[in-house]
């Protein structure tokens, strides 16, 4: 089988969509060595996170041809011609999108939809972004022969907002990178903490610093918890929200206890997670919530928010709070910190978290996606 993939995010995105794109293609390549994977990308960067894919014998990167469309125009309009020329059996848009003229390519298509948050929380997006996402992602959902939703909540949103037949959508959970599953030695964790200049005791929140991720709740809770020495480490890029958070933290008297880091590498993140006293992820809305899985795999208590798909990611193992209640978050942090003390055994709920996270297995994800491909091809051929 020859599979075409939209590899733009795999090449250029270091976080969520890029991580998913790399995880899927790596997992499929490893578990189906006889399949050829063609990764279509407008440009190919010198990205160390691509080293695994470049080492796979059955993976090839495809760039725009010398003549014709290039860049985003090629990805939206010209790519369909390449799919036919390369005799692709199926094309998979890994990040909500398909070429706008995919129907003319003569090949079946699958699109992974990660979320429809721009519909759920329109105030978190500019008007132009909402229009653009609605046009591109809605069209992709309608044009795709099959849709992969990363959670039940995302499936429900696709049905609700775009009127898609539920039978056309498969819910396939993703896993997290295997590096989070290996429990690191205490000595290594301490060396990493010192090298990165992190405080000795900290709570950790990973995610883009923007309104939706709700770092504000963690900042407000920090001022209310009993432990006045513990810090909050926020790892992620600022999207114009940092100034507001700094103003709040100064008003609450906790500014000195908050460390913002945008330069933590992916390779260091497992150690940073495992060294944290607890993982906070009170996001107002997510398509899935990989930081929850990463926290559970790291055997740390995970405190997250109700109201979206995060209950699917955390199950009975995570702790849940109202995303608008900083006092509830503070009380939950107090309770968790009282259970996590030096020299004591790991709480049962943390142990249960590791077991629960194992259900988000990369091998299972790859096989379920492979089944979706085969189902899509069979249905498509039956219609020809």
Cβ count within 10 A of residue 360: 20
Spell 288-321 as b/e; 16+ CB within 10 A means b. bbbbbbbbbbbbbbbbbbebbbbbbbbeebbbbb
Question: What pLDDT, on a 0 to 100 scale, did the predictor assign at position 72?
Answer: 87
- Span 211-240, average pLDDT: 96
CB 151 within 8 A of CB 173: yes
The pLDDT of residue 335 is above 60: yes
**Residue 207 falls in which region: left (phi positive, over 0), alpha (psi -120 to 50) or beta:** left
Average pLDDT, the chain: 93
Rounded to the nearest angstrom, the gap between the alpha carbon of residue 339 and the centroid of all alpha carbons in its chain is 29
Q: What's the CA gap between 368 and 360, in Å, rounded?
A: 12
How far apart CA 214 and CA 280 sit, in angstroms, is 10
CA 311, CA 309: separation in Å to the nearest integer?
5
The pTM score is 0.92
Identify the pLDDT of residue 310: 93
Q: For residue 161, with 0-12 CB atoms within 10 Å meaning exposed, 13-18 middle and 19 or more buried, which class applies? A: middle
State how far the Cα of 101 lies from the Cα of 81, in Å rounded to an integer: 10
Average pLDDT, integer, range 353-377 = 92
Residue 343: pLDDT band with limits 50, 70, 90: very low
Give 220's pLDDT tier (boundaries 50, 70, 90).
Answer: very high
Same fold, 2-175+361-383 and 178-357: yes
Tokens of 267: 């390779």
Helix, strand or coil, per DSSP, at residue 90: strand
Question: Residue 345 — pLDDT band, cuts 50, 70, 90?
Answer: low
Q: Where is 364: in which H helix or E strand?
A: helix 362-383
d(CA 111, CA 147): 5
In this prediction, residue 344 has a pLDDT band, given cuts at 50, 70 and 90, of low
Share of the chain above pLDDT 90, in %: 84
| Distance from C-alpha of 331 to C-alpha of 120, rounded to nearest angstrom | 29
The predicted structure's pLDDT at residue 341: 66
Task: Tell me the per-residue pLDDT of 316-326, one tens digit each, with 9 for 90 and over.
Answer: 999 999 999 99
The residue-averaged pLDDT of 157-172 equals 97
CA distance 30 to 244: 45
Angle at 48 between CA 44 and CA 49, to 5 degrees: 90
- For residue 111, list its beta bridge partners: 93, 147
Q: What's the DSSP call for residue 223?
A: T
Find, among 143, 119, 140, 141, the residue nearest to 129 by Cα. 119
130 vs 359, more confident: 130
User: If pLDDT is split at 50, 70 and 90, which confidence band does 346 have?
Assistant: low
Return the domain boundaries, the chain. 2-175+361-383, 178-357
User: Could you give the maximum distance between any two Cα atoms of the chain, in Å?
Assistant: 67
Tell me which of 10-14, 39-43, 344-348 is least confident.
344-348
Tens digits of residue pLDDT in 270-282? 999 999 999 999 9
Higher pLDDT, 67 or 80: 80
Element (H, E) at 92: strand 90-93
- Whether residue 292 is predicted with pLDDT greater than 70 in this model: the reply is yes
Q: What is the mean pLDDT of residues 246-269?
A: 96
Let me know how long the chain is: 384
CATH 3.40.50.2000 fits 178-357, yes or no: yes
Indicate whether 43 pLDDT > 80.
yes
**Could you give the strand order of the β-sheet that contains 231-235, starting from the edge strand earlier in sequence?**
258-261, 231-235, 202-206, 278-281, 302-305, 319-321
- Superfamily assignment of 2-175+361-383 in CATH? Glycogen Phosphorylase B; (3.40.50.2000)
Nearest to 22, CA basis, from 90, 89, 94, 76: 94
């Amino acid at each position: 089988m020859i599979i075409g993939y939209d590899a733009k995010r795999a090449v250029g995105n270091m976080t969520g969509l890029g991580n998913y794109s790399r995880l899927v293609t790596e997992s499929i390549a490893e578990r189906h060595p006889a399949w050829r994977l063609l990764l279509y990308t407008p440009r190919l960067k010198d990205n160390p996170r691509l080293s695994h894919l470049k080492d796979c014998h059955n993976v090839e990167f495809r760039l725009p041809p010398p003549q014709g469309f290039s860049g985003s125009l090629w990805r939206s309009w010209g790519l369909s011609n390449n799919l036919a020329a390369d005799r692709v059996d199926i094309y998979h848009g890994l990040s909500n999108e398909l070429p706008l003229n995919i129907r003319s390519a003569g090949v079946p298509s699958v699109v992974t939809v990660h979320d429809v948050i721009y519909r759920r929380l329109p105030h978190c997006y500019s008007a132009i972004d909402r229009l653009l996402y609605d046009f591109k992602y809605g069209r992709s959902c309608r044009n795709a022969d099959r849709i992969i939703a990363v959670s039940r909540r995302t499936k429900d949103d696709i049905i609700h907002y775009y009127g898609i037949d539920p039978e056309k959508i498969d819910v396939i959970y993703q896993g997290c990178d295997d590096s989070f599953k290996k429990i690191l030695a205490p000595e290594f964790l301490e060396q990493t903490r010192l090298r990165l200049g992190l405080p000795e005791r900290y709570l950790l929140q990973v995610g883009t610093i923007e309104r939706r991720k709700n770092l504000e709740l963690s900042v407000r809770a920090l001022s209310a918890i009993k432990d006045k020495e513990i810090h909050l480490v926020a790892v992620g890029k600022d999207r114009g929200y940092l100034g507001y958070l700094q103003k709040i933290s100064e008003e609450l008297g906790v500014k000195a206890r908050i460390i913002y880091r945008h330069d933590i590498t992916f390779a260091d993140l497992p150690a940073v997670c495992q060294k944290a006293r607890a993982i906070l992820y009170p996001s107002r809305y997510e398509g899935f919530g990989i930081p929850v899985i990463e926290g559970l795999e790291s055997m740390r208590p995970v405190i997250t928010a109700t109201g979206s798909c995060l209950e699917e990611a955390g199950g009975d193992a995570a702790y849940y709070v109202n995303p608008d209640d900083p006092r509830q978050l503070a009380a939950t942090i107090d309770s968790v910190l009282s259970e996590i003390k030096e020299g004591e055994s790991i709480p049962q709920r943390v142990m249960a978290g590791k077991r629960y996270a194992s259900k988000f297995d990369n091998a299972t994800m790859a096989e379920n996606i492979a089944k979706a491909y085969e189902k899509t091809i069979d249905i498509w051929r039956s219609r020809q």
